[in-house]
C-alpha cells in the first residue's frame, strides 16, 4: 500500500477553503469601504438638502399668506419664523381676534428640515424673525429678543409688527452637520432666499 506524503506534494493552485477565505476578506473590506463612502455622501447631501428645504419652507409660508389659506381653523394675518443659533427653526401664526387685536394663535412649530443638520449661526445677530403679512405677503425681517408683538394695520385689515424691521442687507442662516456647512441667504428687503454651499 502506497502512502501519501503531503509535505512533498507539489501544489499547482489553491484549494476551495483558501479561495473562500480570500473572497470573504475581500467582501468585508469592500463593504467597509462602501459604507464609509455612503455615510460621508449622505452627510454631505443632508446639509444641502436642509438648505433647500429651508428655502422651500420660507417660500411655502409666503404662498400660504398670499393664498389666504386656513391654518388651525383660522385665516392667518401673518406668519413669523424664528431663526436662532443652535436651535430648531420654528414658525407661529398671527390672527385678528374678535375685538380687533392681533395675537399669536398657534404654538411654535418646528419646520421640517433634515434631522442630521443644525442651525450653527444666524447673522447679523441671533435671533432674527422673518415675517410675511397678508394680504400682499409683505415681508419684514426683525431683530428682537423674543417673538415680536403685532398691531392692526390702520387701512388694510392686516397685522403688522410693532418693531422696526431690518431695512437692507442679507440675513444668513448657517446649517451644519459633521462634514459640511451650507447656508441660506435671505434678502432683508423682500424675503428672497438663496441656498449656497460653503466650499
Q: Which three cell numbers stand for residue 75?
A: 385665516
CA 64 to chain centre: 19
Domain boundaries, the chain: 41-197
- Cα(first)–Cα(last) distance of the chain, in Å? 77
Neighbours of 42 (CB within 10 A): 13
Question: For every one of its 199 residues, what pLDDT tens digit does the chain have, with 9 covering 90 and above?
Answer: 556 555 555 567 778 888 899 999 999 999 988 888 777 666 666 777 778 888 888 888 888 888 877 788 888 888 998 888 887 788 898 988 888 899 998 888 887 776 667 788 888 888 899 998 988 778 899 988 889 999 998 888 888 899 888 877 889 988 887 777 888 898 888 888 888 877 6
Residue 6 confidence (pLDDT): 55
pLDDT at 24: 92
Q: How far apart are CA 138 and CA 101, in angstroms?
A: 19
Q: In Å, how far are 6, 133, 134, 156, 160 from 153, measured between CA atoms?
A: 99, 10, 11, 6, 6
Q: Is the pTM of this model over 0.75?
A: no
What integer pLDDT is reported at residue 23 of this predicted model? 92
Please tell me the predicted confidence (pLDDT) of residue 25. 93
169: nearest Cα among 183, 188, 186, 185: 188
Amino acid at each position: 500500500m502506497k502512502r501519501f506524503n503531503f509535505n512533498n506534494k507539489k501544489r499547482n493552485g489553491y484549494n476551495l477553503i483558501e479561495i473562500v477565505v480570500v473572497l470573504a476578506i475581500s467582501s468585508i473590506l469592500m463593504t467597509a469601504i462602501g459604507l464609509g463612502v455612503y455615510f460621508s455622501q449622505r452627510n454631505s447631501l443632508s446639509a444641502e438638502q436642509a438648505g433647500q428645504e429651508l428655502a422651500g419652507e420660507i417660500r411655502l409660508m409666503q404662498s400660504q399668506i398670499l393664498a389666504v389659506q386656513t391654518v388651525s381653523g383660522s385665516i392667518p394675518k401673518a406668519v413669523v419664523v424664528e431663526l436662532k443659533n443652535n436651535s430648531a427653526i420654528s414658525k407661529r401664526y398671527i390672527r385678528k381676534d374678535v375685538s380687533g387685536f392681533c395675537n399669536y394663535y398657534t404654538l411654535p412649530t418646528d419646520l421640517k428640515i433634515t434631522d442630521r443638520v443644525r442651525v450653527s449661526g444666524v447673522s447679523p445677530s441671533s435671533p432674527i424673525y422673518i415675517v410675511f403679512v397678508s394680504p400682499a405677503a409683505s415681508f419684514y425681517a426683525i431683530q428682537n429678543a423674543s417673538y415680536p408683538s403685532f398691531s392692526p394695520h390702520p387701512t388694510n385689515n392686516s397685522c403688522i409688527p410693532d418693531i422696526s424691521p431690518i431695512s437692507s442687507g442679507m440675513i444668513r442662516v448657517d446649517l451644519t452637520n459633521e462634514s459640511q456647512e451650507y447656508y441660506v441667504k435671505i434678502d432683508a428687503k423682500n424675503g428672497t432666499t438663496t441656498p449656497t454651499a460653503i466650499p
